[in-house]
Structure 1
Amino acid sequence: MAFKNISKLVAILIFTVGILVSCKEQSPNSNMDQAISNEGHPNLILTKKGVSHIRQKLGQVPLFDKSLEAAKQEVDLEIGLEIEVPIPKDFSGGYTHERHKRNFLMLQKAGVLYQILNEEKYAKYVKDMLMEYEAMYKTLPVHPQTRSYARGKLFWQCLNDSNWLVYVSQAYDCIYDYLSQEERDKLENNLFRPFADFISIENPQFYNRVHNHSTWGNAAVGMIGLVMGDEDLIHRALYGIENDGLDPDAKDNDGGFIKDKEGRAGFLANLEEPFSPDGYYTEGPYYQRYAMYPFLIFAEALDNVKPELKIFEHKDGVLLKSVHALLQLSDADGEFFPLNDGQKGMSYYSRELVTAVDIAYYYGGKNPELLSIAEKQDQVLLDDTGFAVALGVNDGAIEPFVKKSINLSDGPNGNQGGVGVLRTDTVELVFKYAAQGSSHGHYDKLSFSLYDDGEEVIQDYGLARFVNIEQKGGGNYLKENTTWAKQSIAHNTIIQNETSHFEAKYEVGSKFHSDLYFFNIENPNVQIVSAKEQNAYPGTDMHRTMAIIKDEDFERPYVMDIMRVNSETKNQYDLPYYFIGQVVKTNFSYNAPKLLKPLGDKNGYQHLYLEGEGKPSGSNTMLSWLNNERFYTLTSATDNKDELLFTRIGANDPEFNLRREAALIMRRKNADNTIFASIIETHGGYSPVSELALNSNSNVSEIKVIYNNAAYTALSMTTVNDKTKLFILANEEASAQTKHNLEINGKNYEWTGPYHLIKTD
């Protein structure tokens, strides 16, 4: 026992000297001269105090006990098998990729199990596997797959290598004191430091930029630095690599800029640039979800080891705000809206969001609403934060998490557009007027998607990728992500002359953003968002206003959509609505071609089959469809010269990489200044059991634009029962205090604010 104490004392002295020697480069704004917490290990996500508290309460906190037992069963099964550390060769989804991924997940779980259960078999499992990696890594070449701009060693890209080190650093922290000094030296000198140097110094194009990839790299280098007490690595994690030799204006082959606008890199720059003050992450919810793990797990480790950094207070607490913003960007079922590159079905049940909810609860004032999400997730982290959440659930402190209408700004200062979400009890409308979204952004200014009880009604396509399915492009992005999913025609927005916004050029699109005109949810019966776009097409201005309106004359809330276009030249405009479901009825005739042909030859049009072509039968066009036992109707004010095109995704797709989904496109040719106005209804239902259809017909008999100039637009809508509604929009003055007076068809209307909705019958 005395020998062990002496050894620990010697280790502390060596550790302290190492810190003093390694502190070479200091940021003028940092407190890096303060010594790393010397309370011992674990100290990243578990603390000695936390472990003691958890051990005392084992068997008394059901949600934590359940999570612990699930991890124990999983790791015990792995321990019963032979450790396997194969030579890397595969893309995502391939055997070696998935084996190394499973290894780092099991290592992390085994580490925390060792601390909580104090059973040596878990520490031995971690040690034995790490020694296998140490033996292999010393001579491991760069990964044989050459697709990535930054190839890893264990994985085909440095991103996944960073995933590995983020998780493994936690395992190493948990068994640090179990290992001898000789064993630690061996791992640190032959595995961990070379690993950290490889993903950072040897790959600055990956590490020294602002992107979710770099966030993983920063967290990986920083967390292993915290475990080892290596101030050089911690500094590198927080502030990036100095004098990296990169062109400050360079871009990687993923289309992302290397550094932020101030030329900074590192973890703190990745906190500053991608997040708006509201916590919106510019790449979109899917990648915000992915990045939340390294952001929050590294922040937790920093707060435990270097509390003087006050990382959770950085940028007015943006990390904690971001968790709430992300939860608000999910539908009624908890699935994230697929803005930009986003896989449908990803939800707050993912392991990253378990981490996010637990850490946000622990460090964010223990908001009881987060406990309701944690209860649905039905699992917690096996650390201090997860234990606090489980205690809160056990103590009955739960309050419902309220999803509400919300407007989230984009850009580091919140002045680069944003995303508006309008909500009623059942209907959710997502309106995108944001910045480009970095390399994962899509070219779809003023686009929208619509949900009813968590089901898509008008859809956003999301990404073209089969994540981790090796048979589909190695699990990576498919070429159709560029030729289809990112193109403007893949979204519910205006396309001019069959050309995508900004000609789908990242360098151009990244310079601009749409601007919020107004967002108003004060009246729960009229929730409305309006934004303008002036740069998608030179010489063309677009202004779109969307609202969810509750009206006693309608069974359910309806959506109003007004898209105004003003251009210096005459153009062709296409406005698609990607409806989900089976066509039930139209009020126009159309011809179905005997031979399906693509609608165009580029800009995404080459992927659309033309399935039907017609013209409006009058001043209104109506399409009804059925989906999930409910009816929907789109009614639009149209011109007799308009073209109506039924299309379906799937042309020029020989490998069946795209989903075969339908759209109705309204096409208007030879127009400069024009307006598209529509109403979308949710109504009735159909029971396949009783075989009864209820209220299957639209409640709208007519929609008409009765006034439109630079200053005002007025839309009238008449129901089948001859009830008429009038909506007036002020196009140039959005102030809520401005008074308006307008004469329409001999009648005078007065109101205050940017819009006016009245019944005129």
Structure 2
Amino acid sequence: MALIRTLLLSVLLISLFSCNDTNENIPDESEHEGHPKLILTKKGVKEIRAQLGNIPIFDNTLKEVKEDIDAEIKLGIDTPIPKDYSGGYTHDRHKRNMVVMQKAGVLYQILDNEKYAKYVKDMLMQYEDMYKTLPVHPKTRSYARGKLFWQCLNDSNWLVYVSQAYDCIYNYLTEEERNKLETNLFKPFADYISIENPQFYNRVHNHSTWGNAAVGMIGLVMDDDELIERALYGIKDLEMDKTAKDDDGGYINKDGKAGFLANIEEPFSPDGYYNEGPYYQRYAMYPFLIFAEGLHNVRPDVKIFEYKDGVLLKSINALLNLSDADGDFFPLNDGQKGMSYYTSALVTAVDISYHFGGQDPGLLSIAKLQNKVLLDDSGLAVALGIKEGLEKPFEKKSINLTDGPNGTQGGVGILRNQGIEVVFKYAAQGSSHGHYDKLSYSLYERGDEVIQDYGLARFVNIEQKGGGNYLKENKTWAKQTIAHNTVTQNETSHFNAKFEIGSKYHPELHYFSSENETVQVASAIDTHAYLGTEMLRTMAVIKDEDFEKPYVLDIMRVTSNKANQYDFPYYFLGQVLQTNFEHKTPETLKPLGTKNGYQHLFLEGSAKAQSDNSKLSWLNKGKFYTLTTVTSNADNLLFTRIGANDPEFNLRREAALLLRRKNVKNTTFVSTIEAHGGYSPVTESAVNSNSSIAHLKVVLDNADYTAIVITNVDGVSKLFITANTKQGKGTKHKLTINNESYEWSGSYYFK
């Protein structure tokens, strides 16, 4: 009987420890019943296991992750001594390792297979052995060098991911193994990126957000209250060099605020717009949301998803609205084109937003397009919602997103109508990633750029191009005003391209109107980009029954206390078809200027305007476009192309038509841009390839009003009037133009 009782007890113990290593030194799970608790939870694991095989998008994601990690396990573990910049082998290997460990930890929990836990454990022990004697990274470019990577930012990335892996295998490890990892790896790692690098950690910036999340997440796993407090509130009583600059030229700790909560409070507006722009918001959303989820699960007392009126969840909606019809984020400030909501960070954002933000069915439609989910509690919620057919289209309409912590520092207005999207930027500087382009815009049609914003000058993670980091042309070209579709005065950038000056000022919203489906308008004013000069820009997307598609009306009113030269570029993409002016082409290409971005523009053609309307038509991706702009015979029209003084070919060779006005104090640039017709290379047929606008005329332009008459080829005229001073929905207006009286309420008139 004793033998039978012993055998039964053995079977029972094997059953109890089926999720753990059978090593006799492994403690009973009840001793640490809170793990996993960070992102995956014990309750979530139980529900996931119960649903496996019955939730297609989750099952498919799990299958892909398993295949990926199984292949990595076969390759073996490699933790090389760090030596490379971004794009180099050691950099990419350690970056890959952090993701692999996080995924393997999740697989251990969901599949109950200890090979994944052992893999994570073995790799962590190699890192523990390495880190004890690891020097600072040999590459010296960064203001805050890491140890595994050339900058603390990437070290923080690593710890954010590895914290999740550690949580998943916590109960697989013995107490001795945990103590070894925490004493020799995790605690020193957290101290290094924070206490030993306060210039990186103790400020408001997306870099610091990653650092705060890294310290906080490992603190949550380890139940280390000091690390959690350091993550939330920064390092206390710290004297720092407030004149030091980071890698991007931004000043460090200039206001003394730091910590995760400060990084929510300062960069986000109440609407959820992130001041560095959507590209960096996308990058920062992962640490923001993954640490927030960890706080929600482990420290619900912080009420993180309620902080600042729930701005973290609001920010996801804002970010999704800052994408074009294809899901690509608008490249405001330092933004790389092609970054989209298909990136893994946005899978995290969509799933967490759905799970914690009220289960908006519109998010499910984006999750279906992403075709993957997180392998955790929030991913399960999304998978179940899709399985039950709850998704609805995520509708992107015209929207105005304020900038600044209180929503009082300008913003970004997006006008949308039947596939036409105007992105009107009147935001604040955007921290160290900001560009000097007040009141600039870009134009899209159904996901295709028509009038472009250049974005950043960088080949991210491509080692051959400056180690994958920002190129010098980012400052000499991409940040300069002439690189954008706005006014450059006297060949000098806004604020003289001085970060300290630009950070003090921002444009002001004049008005934004999107209620009318026929006419949608954004208008803003800037008085600081140039001393003594005021710029008021009003942009409208007009849906007129006499036109095939909505067209854009652009009014830029410039008033100054002295005569200036004004340059107004249109960075069109595509092939020139026709102009209504004759231009001369030089025999030898020369730069347009010597500095402030002009040194990077070749002059390819020049002309004097030959009528009161100058026209340019072009073809791009099978669609026709026409620019019509009001001109006088004193205006110069210059064809330019990016690429001068660029011996390393770091810049894209793209074109612009630049309208130049010399020696004038006050002037108004008025243009329309039409999208019309199309061309099929299959049928070789061109449809509606000509402009429908016969004439564009300014019939009134004074301090109070600007009025434009748009006449089409059939002789039908429409009048658009914008109020330059008194505006608002209830404001009443009455004026006479050419003996005709007009009365209306609101900020604009169109009929």
State the TM-score bracket (shorter-chain normalisation): over 0.9
Moved more, 243-252 or 669-678: 243-252
Which residue is 1:34 aligned to? none
2:195 to 181, 187, 201: 201
The aligned amino acid for 1:128 is D
1:546 aligns with 2:539: yes
Residue 39 of structure 1, CA deviation = 4.5
1:669 aligns with 2:662: yes
Residue 264 of structure 1, CA deviation = 1.8
Given the superposition, is the C-alpha separation of residues 417 and 397 from structure 1 closer, same or farther in structure 2, using an over 3 Å criterion?
Answer: same
- Which whole-Å CA distance do the structure 2 matches of 1:648 and 1:734 have between them? 39
- Which whole-Å CA distance do the structure 1 matches of 2:243 and 2:728 have between them? 39
Which residue is 1:600 aligned to? 593
Equivalent residues of 2:26, 2:174 under 8 A apart: no
Q: Which secondary structure state, in structure 1, belongs to the residue aligned with residue 361 of structure 2?
A: coil
- Which whole-Å CA distance do the structure 2 matches of 1:444 and 1:6 have between them? 63
**1:304-343 alpha-carbon deviations (Å, 9 max, x no partner):** 0011111000000000000000000000000000000000
**1:607-666 alpha-carbon deviations (Å, 9 max, x no partner):** 000000001111010000001111000000011100000000000000000000000000
Equivalent residues of 1:528, 1:548 under 8 A apart: yes
Which residue is 1:632 aligned to? 625
Which residue is 1:395 aligned to? 388
**1:668-715 alpha-carbon deviations (Å, 9 max, x no partner):** 000111100001000111111111111111111111111111111111
- Which whole-Å CA distance do the structure 1 matches of 2:628 and 2:199 have between them? 50
- Which whole-Å CA distance do the structure 2 matches of 1:312 and 1:259 have between them? 26
1:61 to 35, 55, 62: 55
**1:233-292 alpha-carbon deviations (Å, 9 max, x no partner):** 00000000012221456543523233374x220000000000000000000000000000
TM-score if structure 2 supplies the norm length?
0.96
Correspondence list, 1:320-719, <5 A: 320-719=313-712
1:739 to 706, 718, 732: 732
Moved more, 711-720 or 239-248: 239-248
The aligned amino acid for 1:106 is V
The aligned amino acid for 2:282 is R
Correspondence list, 1:252-271, <5 A: 252-259=246-253, 261=255, 263-271=256-264
Which residue is 1:217 aligned to? 211
Correspondence list, 1:186-335, <5 A: 186-248=180-242, 251-259=245-253, 261=255, 263-335=256-328
TM-score if structure 1 supplies the norm length?
0.95
Equivalent residues of 1:484, 1:490 under 8 A apart: yes
1:156 to 133, 138, 150: 150
Equivalent residues of 1:166, 1:224 under 8 A apart: yes
Q: Which secondary structure state, in structure 2, belongs to the residue aligned with residue 442 of structure 1?
A: coil
Equivalent residues of 2:610, 2:632 under 8 A apart: no
1:82 aligns with 2:79: no
- Which whole-Å CA distance do the structure 1 matches of 2:584 and 2:214 have between them? 58
Which residue is 2:160 aligned to? 166
- Which whole-Å CA distance do the structure 2 matches of 1:463 and 1:9 have between them? 53
**1:348-397 alpha-carbon deviations (Å, 9 max, x no partner):** 00000000000000000111110000000000001100011011101111
Residue 425 of structure 1, CA deviation = 2.1
1:144 to 128, 131, 138: 138
Equivalent residues of 1:161, 1:199 under 8 A apart: yes
Residue 730 of structure 1, CA deviation = 1.1
- Which whole-Å CA distance do the structure 2 matches of 1:290 and 1:493 have between them? 27
The aligned amino acid for 1:51 is V
Given the superposition, is the C-alpha separation of residues 142 and 6 from structure 1 closer, same or farther in structure 2, using an over 3 Å criterion?
Answer: closer
- Which whole-Å CA distance do the structure 1 matches of 2:747 and 2:104 have between them? 59
Equivalent residues of 1:210, 1:260 under 8 A apart: no
Equivalent residues of 1:210, 1:257 under 8 A apart: no
Equivalent residues of 1:209, 1:257 under 8 A apart: no
Given the superposition, is the C-alpha separation of residues 750 and 628 from structure 1 closer, same or farther in structure 2, using an over 3 Å criterion?
Answer: same
Equivalent residues of 1:581, 1:625 under 8 A apart: yes
Q: Which secondary structure state, in structure 1, belongs to the residue aligned with residue 528 of structure 2?
A: strand
Moved more, 694-703 or 292-301: 694-703
Residue 729 of structure 1, CA deviation = 1.3
**1:424-469 alpha-carbon deviations (Å, 9 max, x no partner):** 1211110000000000000000000000010000000000000000
- Which whole-Å CA distance do the structure 2 matches of 1:252 and 1:656 have between them? 26
Moved more, 290-299 or 724-733: 724-733
- Which whole-Å CA distance do the structure 1 matches of 2:30 and 2:111 have between them? 26
- Which whole-Å CA distance do the structure 2 matches of 1:273 and 1:386 have between them? 29
Which residue is 2:114 aligned to? 120
Q: Which secondary structure state, in structure 2, belongs to the residue aligned with residue 660 of structure 1?
A: coil
Equivalent residues of 1:260, 1:269 under 8 A apart: no
Residue 81 of structure 1, CA deviation = 1.2
- Which whole-Å CA distance do the structure 1 matches of 2:746 and 2:221 have between them? 57
Residue 10 of structure 1, CA deviation = 12
The aligned amino acid for 1:200 is S
The aligned amino acid for 1:210 is V
Which residue is 2:6 aligned to? none
Identity of aligned pairs, percent?
A: 70
Which residue is 2:172 aligned to? 178
Equivalent residues of 2:413, 2:425 under 8 A apart: yes
**1:465-511 alpha-carbon deviations (Å, 9 max, x no partner):** 00000000000000000000000000000000000000000000000
**1:499-524 alpha-carbon deviations (Å, 9 max, x no partner):** 00000000000000010000001110
Residue 725 of structure 1, CA deviation = 1.1
**1:189-221 alpha-carbon deviations (Å, 9 max, x no partner):** 100000000000000000001000000000000
Q: Which secondary structure state, in structure 1, belongs to the residue aligned with residue 453 of structure 2?
A: coil
Q: Which secondary structure state, in structure 1, belongs to the residue aligned with residue 271 of structure 2?
A: coil
Which residue is 1:46 aligned to? 40
Residue 528 of structure 1, CA deviation = 0.5
The aligned amino acid for 1:61 is I
Correspondence list, 1:72-111, <5 A: 72-111=66-105
- Which whole-Å CA distance do the structure 2 matches of 1:11 and 1:144 have between them? 45
- Which whole-Å CA distance do the structure 2 matches of 1:383 and 1:11 have between them? 22
Q: Which secondary structure state, in structure 2, belongs to the residue aligned with residue 344 of structure 1?
A: coil
- Which whole-Å CA distance do the structure 2 matches of 1:561 and 1:711 have between them? 17
Equivalent residues of 1:260, 1:273 under 8 A apart: no
- Which whole-Å CA distance do the structure 1 matches of 2:295 and 2:421 have between them? 38
Equivalent residues of 1:449, 1:492 under 8 A apart: yes
Equivalent residues of 1:362, 1:385 under 8 A apart: yes
Which residue is 2:7 aligned to? none
- Which whole-Å CA distance do the structure 2 matches of 1:294 and 1:184 have between them? 24
